[in-house]
Structure 1
Amino acid sequence: MSTQNLKRQSINPPPTQVFYDNFHFSQATRVGDMIWVSGQVGIDGAMKPGEGIEEQAQLAFQALKSVLEAAGASLADVVELMTFHTEMQTDMPTFAKVKDQYFPDRYPSWTAIGISQLALPDLRVEIRAVAVAGCGDA
């Protein structure tokens, strides 16, 4: 692998540039084929949390998909998911059904963690991921 492939790239799709500018973090970082995606939450384009766990999970997975595409990858390239839940006991069955819509087979490794709060009071889930670009094609 050449040193060109090992350069660190910050990935910030245009709608997320505000996070980079105001909060000083990238939506994802790519080095070679490895991509580390920051936690994605269930907010809409107006920065409003979705209603309930199903809508928030859909929004968070759509954001994850968008960031991966901007990084040159897809959901099929995800090798690890880590999810954070404020209402783990009650939300997990619904969240798992939504997750299975985005990962219907070749399931990535997954760690789910119960926590007391996220960045906004109404957020119920945050999803971060690690992907290897191109591995989903194999």
Structure 2
Amino acid sequence: MSPAVECNGLVFLTGFNGVPLEGELSYDPATQIRAAFAQVDMVLQEGGMSFDDLVEMTSYHVGLRNHLELFKKIRAEHVREPYPAWTAIEVAGFASEGVIVELKVVARRPS
């Protein structure tokens, strides 16, 4: 699978979860959320973009209400005005056992 695909100036990133590329899954929600944002950041940077180029973010959560405030705090470290559209969705689980968050984003390539 591709980490991202570009179409007409929009870049669609694959969903990135809380499992870091190097290392093992942490059961700490903050660590997982930071790992997901770090992976998104890595792909954006590789494409010459940043979180400033996001137009949409969908976050999927196991136990959304348990860590939503923490998620919003960490999200604010990466995403600034003008904010992308954002939807947070509660899910029953992910393919990887123990994962609590996954991020799917769409960015616009700067002109």
* TM exceeding 0.5: yes
Residue identity opposite 2:45 in structure 1: E
| 2:66 alignment partner, one of 90, 108, 118 | 90
Q: Which runs of 5+ in 1 are unaligned?
A: 1-24
State which drifts further: 47-56 or 36-45. 47-56
State which drifts further: 101-110 or 59-68. 101-110
Greater relative contact order (Cα < 8 A, sep 6+) = 2
Instruction: State how far apart, in whole Å, the 2-side matches of 1:47 and 1:128 are.
Output: 21
Matched residues, percent identical?
25
Q: Which residue of 1 aligns with 2:56?
A: 80
Shift of 1:47: 4.7
Structure 1 segment 118-137 matched on structure 2, within 5 A: 118-134=94-110
State which drifts further: 48-57 or 122-131. 48-57
Return the TM-score normalized by structure 2.
Answer: 0.92
Instruction: State how far apart, in whole Å, the 2-side matches of 1:126 and 1:59 are.
Output: 10
Residue identity opposite 2:42 in structure 1: S
Q: Choose between structure 1 and 2: higher helix proportion.
A: 1
Residue 37 (structure 1) aligned with residue 13 (structure 2): yes
Structure 1 segment 1-138 matched on structure 2, within 5 A: 25-134=1-110
Shift of 1:62: 0.8
Number of corresponding residues: 111
Instruction: State how far apart, in whole Å, the 1-side matches of 2:21 and 2:93 are.
Output: 22
Report the aligned-residue RMSD.
1.4
Instruction: State how far apart, in whole Å, the 1-side matches of 2:8 and 2:23 are.
Output: 31
Question: CA offsets per residue over residues 74-128 of structure 1, 9 Å max, x none?
Answer: 1100000000000111110101100011013321100110000012111000001
Q: Which runs of 5+ in 2 are unaligned?
A: none
Matched position secondary structure for 2:58: strand
Return the TM-score normalized by structure 1.
Answer: 0.75
Whether contact under 8 Å (2:20, 2:39) holds in the other structure is no
